[in-house]
Chains A and B, each alone.
Chain A
Amino acid sequence: MIRLQITLGLVLILAASTVVLIIGVRDIATDHLTRVQDEQHARSVEVGADLFYINCSRCHGEDGKGTAGLCPPLNDRTFFESRLKDIGYAGTLRAYVNSVISSGRPVSTRPQLYAGQMPTWSNVYGGPLRPDQIDNLTDFILNWQATAMSGAQPAKPEPEKAASPEDLGKQVFQRAACIACHAIGNNGGAVGPNLTKVADDAQKFIADPNYKGQAKTPQDFIRESIMNPNAFVVPGFQPNIMPQNFGQTLKPNEIDGLVAYLSTLK
């Protein structure tokens, strides 16, 4: 019995070692791990596409062609080939894309072409996304490189003919990228509260016992929410996500226009 167990045991140890050897050869001598890396990259692109669709496509377009006058195309050959040289960025394109998404663009670098502000996205800087999600987005955007169109130009900018404050406000809502985070109807992001019926909602929030702000009317409430977003944070959302400086970056008539436009949403 002892001899048998020793013999069988030795055979089993040899067999187990063979299996370990097979795994070792597979991991070290074949392209197995490279394939796993490709799979992980593919999954990352899938997640990035989903995030882009939810958060970025309203301004940058579902196909990455950008929005005229607001924000630049990403699915664009010049972006992949000459953007870093143009601005004298010493790092890699990956680092550039990652850092721009993370920290956003408080001021447009090409205001004559793309006047929009890019919100801060990384939660490291107060945005809504985690660093790993920024990595996923970066993977998705860089995945356009192979086929980026040359000289992709977004559609012609719409002339800003502001007939009424409401129309101006509607334009500002697009241009200041409010829509990236706030949806109206089915159109817009879900990072901030949905504004489809913001005037009605404002009325309710003013009556809310937790409301500590100054506003008495929906108009005042909307204005306060733009100038000082933390005055009242809608339950279910985080404070400090919305930029605090619209009071400085928007002109007074633009803010008036925004308030007028949003007050019509009931």
Chain B
Amino acid sequence: MVNLGELRNTAMQKISEMRAELPVKAAEMLDQRIRAITAGLSANELRAITRGESPTEKPNPRYKLQTKSFLFHLRPRYYQRASTWFSHTFRLGWLSVFTFFVETFTGIILMVFYTPIPTQAYADILNIMANVPFGRFMRDLHRLGAEMMVISVFLHMVRVYFTGSYKGERSFTWLTGVVLLLLTLLLSFSGYLLPWDQLAYWAVTIGTSMAEAMPVIGTQVNLLLRGAPDIGAGGLLRFYLLHVLFVPLIAILVISIHYYKVSREHSISLPASVEEGEMDPAEKKKALERVDFIPDLITHEIFLTSLVTFIMVLFVLFIPIAPLETHANYNATPLDTEAPWYFLWVQGMLKLGDKTLMGVILPGAIFTLLAAIPYIDRNPSRLARNRKLEITLGILFIALLGVLSYFGTPKALIEQPPATRIVQDMIPQEGEGEVRTLPFSQLKVGRYTTDMDFATVNGTPGLKQVMVDLQQKIKQKADKLPGAKGTVEIADVQVDGSGQTELKQVIMRIAWTDPQRGDQVYEKVIFLHRDAAHTAK
């Protein structure tokens, strides 16, 4: 006979026992799940980390991450305090990687709205700016990130050079760094073409024509890059694929190698003063103590991420940085073609000599020399006082880059016809200039000359200023423009429904008498619409 009452009691007892165990079991299971995801860190441990407390278990579970977690295997277990001094690294390596991530994120979003076809690309950029919420924001961030990446990679390299951190076991890391510099420049430059505006088209035409100057294989390399003798649909697609796929993939690989070397093999260098200098033993001990990756370094990295994100976002809110010129026009070479600023030094060199020598052989030699620095410099000391020659050469090299970059600016070393120059300065082909930014209401129909009485245009101070400046500029070049007279003509073109003119024609003309060629005239005609952004209403 089964005693039902007893059975019921036993069952009730079992259930209450299980109930009592349940929270413990659930907690255990939860802990297991958490540990599986965090590669060994318990919930308590995570809590301790965010509160900056010491490890909750022994051995220190925070050191296991580097072997157990894929994402953390690239990261260090700890650095010595002195190698994390801000004045030693300036966080430039971190900044380079951070901007790479910004570029990836904003770039993928921009890709959603972009088609790499000549008939569509420019319209897509216009659409991103005028129709896509956050479109202009993403584009500005992408541009800002690109500029920052070039700057931070360059400065990182300068820092490593001047602290002598490329020596010994770090020589290979330096080599990967030189490769990363090249990849950064290539990433930035390949993105240059994509908006398919005049700036893009001609900067890349010049860039690839340098490839053409390479001995023996030049023509083939140029064809390979452009997809045809001139940049067209093929060239755009190739640069797009380079920009969004090929170069980023290689960059991720090389960044990983570079990072792994630093974090897992030889660590960030110590300041030379700590490594070789004479220091108070107590201070030295403090300088050499461990700073753990978790929680100190990772917290710092996340802090820097939020800081720089904030700065970037705020920057583009106030300063729209991504330019867009007029649609690419292969029939019209712009008057002032400018390479991106980080290639101005090459453009400067090109003005000084032969395309093959200055555009290919010398830049190639410079990068080769850069890569070879650790193998040439056999001086074992990293202290500045033992490296006077290296440091002087470094400063000279940077100064040289600066001077060459100045030579590379459009106006340096190139003498343009004076009248063309004056008109281009006041009404540039691209961008705004003094005339386009005149308030629309000041474009009073009429004919104004530099020899008239400017009091008659007192009612329109902006227009008066244009005439004064035109007169001034002509005067400055009086020796080259004998008997010159400047004219500005403003005429109505179209009126809108309310009877207001909304489109005007502006002609700027300079007439002079050339001693050899007689009477000369240079003129430029533009149209200005009331609603165009450059004309204030």
Interface range on chain A (Cβ under 8 Å from partner): 35 or more
Other-chain residue from B122, B123, B317 in contact with A19 (beta carbon distance below 8 A) = B317
| Inter-chain pairs besides A13-B309, A143-B503, 13 sampled, C-beta below 8 Å | A6-B303, A8-B307, A9-B307, A16-B309, A16-B314, A37-B130, A40-B129, A45-B494, A45-B527, A46-B532, A131-B119, A143-B494, A146-B496
**A16 in contact with B313 given A2-B295, A9-B306, A53-B525 (CB within 8 Å):** yes
Q: Smallest Cβ distance from B142 to chain A, in angstroms?
A: 15
B264 located at the interface, meaning its Cβ lies under 8 Å from any Cβ of chain A in the complex: no
**A38 in contact with B494 given A9-B303, A16-B310, A132-B327 (CB within 8 Å):** no
The answer to whether A42 touches B131, judged by C-beta atoms less than 8 angstroms apart, is no
Tell me the chain B residues, 296-330 only, with Cβ under 8 Å from chain A. 296, 299-300, 302-303, 305-307, 309-310, 313-314, 317, 326-327, 329
Q: In the assembled complex, which residues on chain A have CB atoms less than 8 Å from the CB atom of B131?
A: 33, 37
The answer to whether A12 touches B526, judged by C-beta atoms less than 8 angstroms apart, is no
Q: Smallest Cβ distance from B358 to chain A, in angstroms?
A: 28
A250 located at the interface, meaning its Cβ lies under 8 Å from any Cβ of chain B in the complex: no
Q: Smallest Cβ distance from B182 to chain A, in angstroms?
A: 32
Tell me the chain B residues, 95-142 only, with Cβ under 8 Å from chain A. 119, 122-123, 126, 129-131, 133-137
The answer to whether B493 touches A49, judged by C-beta atoms less than 8 angstroms apart, is yes
The answer to whether A12 touches B310, judged by C-beta atoms less than 8 angstroms apart, is yes
**Docked CA distance A67–B130 (Å):** 38
Q: In the assembled complex, which residues on chain A have CB atoms less than 8 Å from the CB atom of B299?
A: 2, 5-6, 9
Number of interface residues of B (CB under 8 A): 50
**A50 in contact with B527 given A33-B131, A40-B126 (CB within 8 Å):** yes
The answer to whether A12 touches B306, judged by C-beta atoms less than 8 angstroms apart, is yes
The answer to whether A19 touches B314, judged by C-beta atoms less than 8 angstroms apart, is yes
A24 located at the interface, meaning its Cβ lies under 8 Å from any Cβ of chain B in the complex: yes
B531 located at the interface, meaning its Cβ lies under 8 Å from any Cβ of chain A in the complex: yes
A22 located at the interface, meaning its Cβ lies under 8 Å from any Cβ of chain B in the complex: yes
B533 located at the interface, meaning its Cβ lies under 8 Å from any Cβ of chain A in the complex: yes
Sample (8) of A-B pairs whose CB atoms are under 8 Å apart: A2-B51, A5-B299, A9-B299, A16-B313, A43-B529, A49-B494, A53-B505, A132-B327
Q: In the assembled complex, which residues on chain A have CB atoms less than 8 Å from the CB atom of B495?
A: 146-147
Q: In the assembled complex, which residues on chain A have CB atoms less than 8 Å from the CB atom of B327?
A: 130, 132-133
**Docked CA distance A22–B528 (Å):** 32
Q: In the assembled complex, which residues on chain A have CB atoms less than 8 Å from the CB atom of B387?
A: none
A27 located at the interface, meaning its Cβ lies under 8 Å from any Cβ of chain B in the complex: yes
Q: In the assembled complex, which residues on chain A have CB atoms less than 8 Å from the CB atom of B503?
A: 45-46, 49, 143
A234 located at the interface, meaning its Cβ lies under 8 Å from any Cβ of chain B in the complex: no
Dominant SS among interface residues on chain A: helix
Q: Smallest Cβ distance from A135 to chain B, in angstroms?
A: 8
Most chain B CB atoms below 10 A, which of A6, A22, A132: A132
B170 located at the interface, meaning its Cβ lies under 8 Å from any Cβ of chain A in the complex: no
A233 located at the interface, meaning its Cβ lies under 8 Å from any Cβ of chain B in the complex: no
The answer to whether B52 touches A22, judged by C-beta atoms less than 8 angstroms apart, is no
Kindly report which residue of chain A lies nearest to residue B317, judged by CB atoms. Answer: A19
B381 located at the interface, meaning its Cβ lies under 8 Å from any Cβ of chain A in the complex: no
Q: Smallest Cβ distance from B344 to chain A, in angstroms?
A: 28
**Docked CA distance A45–B326 (Å):** 13
Q: In the assembled complex, which residues on chain B have CB atoms less than 8 Å from the CB atom of A63?
A: 493
Q: In the assembled complex, which residues on chain B have CB atoms less than 8 Å from the CB atom of A53?
A: 505, 525, 527
Q: In the assembled complex, which residues on chain B have CB atoms less than 8 Å from the CB atom of A24?
A: 133-134
Q: Smallest Cβ distance from B497 to chain A, in angstroms?
A: 4
Kindly report which residue of chain B lies nearest to residue A139, judged by CB atoms. Answer: B529
Q: In the assembled complex, which residues on chain B have CB atoms less than 8 Å from the CB atom of A27?
A: 133-137
By Cβ-Cβ distance, the 9 closest A-B pairs, closest first, are A2-B52, A42-B529, A42-B531, A146-B497, A49-B527, A5-B303, A27-B133, A42-B532, A12-B306
Q: In the assembled complex, which residues on chain B have CB atoms less than 8 Å from the CB atom of A143?
A: 494, 502-503
Q: Smallest Cβ distance from A102 to chain B, in angstroms?
A: 12
A113 located at the interface, meaning its Cβ lies under 8 Å from any Cβ of chain B in the complex: no
**Docked CA distance A219–B387 (Å):** 79
B530 located at the interface, meaning its Cβ lies under 8 Å from any Cβ of chain A in the complex: yes
**Docked CA distance A15–B317 (Å):** 13
Kindly report which residue of chain B lies nearest to residue A2, judged by CB atoms. Answer: B52
Contact with A along B489-529 (1 / 0, CB 8 A): 00001111101001101000000000000000000011111
B69 located at the interface, meaning its Cβ lies under 8 Å from any Cβ of chain A in the complex: no
A144 located at the interface, meaning its Cβ lies under 8 Å from any Cβ of chain B in the complex: yes
Contact with A along B350-391 (1 / 0, CB 8 A): 000000000000000000000000000000000000000000
**Docked CA distance A37–B326 (Å):** 16
Kindly report which residue of chain B lies nearest to residue A15, judged by CB atoms. Answer: B310
Q: Smallest Cβ distance from B155 to chain A, in angstroms?
A: 23
B472 located at the interface, meaning its Cβ lies under 8 Å from any Cβ of chain A in the complex: no
Other-chain residue from B302, B305, B527, B531 in contact with A41 (beta carbon distance below 8 A) = B531
Q: In the assembled complex, which residues on chain B have CB atoms less than 8 Å from the CB atom of A152?
A: none
Q: Smallest Cβ distance from B298 to chain A, in angstroms?
A: 10
The answer to whether B307 touches A20, judged by C-beta atoms less than 8 angstroms apart, is no
Q: Smallest Cβ distance from A159 to chain B, in angstroms?
A: 32
Kindly report which residue of chain A lies nearest to residue B119, judged by CB atoms. Answer: A131
Q: Smallest Cβ distance from A240 to chain B, in angstroms?
A: 15
**A2 in contact with B306 given A22-B317, A37-B131 (CB within 8 Å):** no
Q: In the assembled complex, which residues on chain A have CB atoms less than 8 Å from the CB atom of B219?
A: none
**A13 in contact with B306 given A2-B295, A146-B497, A147-B496 (CB within 8 Å):** yes
**Docked CA distance A16–B531 (Å):** 32
Q: In the assembled complex, which residues on chain B have CB atoms less than 8 Å from the CB atom of A20?
A: 134, 137, 313
Kindly report which residue of chain B lies nearest to residue A43, judged by CB atoms. Answer: B532
Other-chain residue from B51, B134, B295, B302 in contact with A23 (beta carbon distance below 8 A) = B134
A39 located at the interface, meaning its Cβ lies under 8 Å from any Cβ of chain B in the complex: yes
The answer to whether A132 touches B529, judged by C-beta atoms less than 8 angstroms apart, is no
Q: In the assembled complex, which residues on chain A have CB atoms less than 8 Å from the CB atom of B317?
A: 19, 22-23
Q: Smallest Cβ distance from B220 to chain A, in angstroms?
A: 26
A3 located at the interface, meaning its Cβ lies under 8 Å from any Cβ of chain B in the complex: yes
**Docked CA distance A37–B130 (Å):** 5
Q: In the assembled complex, which residues on chain A have CB atoms less than 8 Å from the CB atom of B123?
A: 132
B420 located at the interface, meaning its Cβ lies under 8 Å from any Cβ of chain A in the complex: no
A28 located at the interface, meaning its Cβ lies under 8 Å from any Cβ of chain B in the complex: yes
Other-chain residue from A6, A13, A36, A132 in contact with B130 (beta carbon distance below 8 A) = A36
Other-chain residue from A5, A50, A133 in contact with B300 (beta carbon distance below 8 A) = A5
Other-chain residue from A15, A49, A132 in contact with B119 (beta carbon distance below 8 A) = A132
Contact with A along B136-175 (1 / 0, CB 8 A): 1100000000000000000000000000000000000000
Q: In the assembled complex, which residues on chain B have CB atoms less than 8 Å from the CB atom of A131?
A: 119
The answer to whether A8 touches B303, judged by C-beta atoms less than 8 angstroms apart, is yes
Q: Smallest Cβ distance from A100 to chain B, in angstroms?
A: 19
Q: In the assembled complex, which residues on chain A have CB atoms less than 8 Å from the CB atom of B119?
A: 130-132
A47 located at the interface, meaning its Cβ lies under 8 Å from any Cβ of chain B in the complex: yes
Most chain A CB atoms below 10 A, which of B122, B123, B503: B503
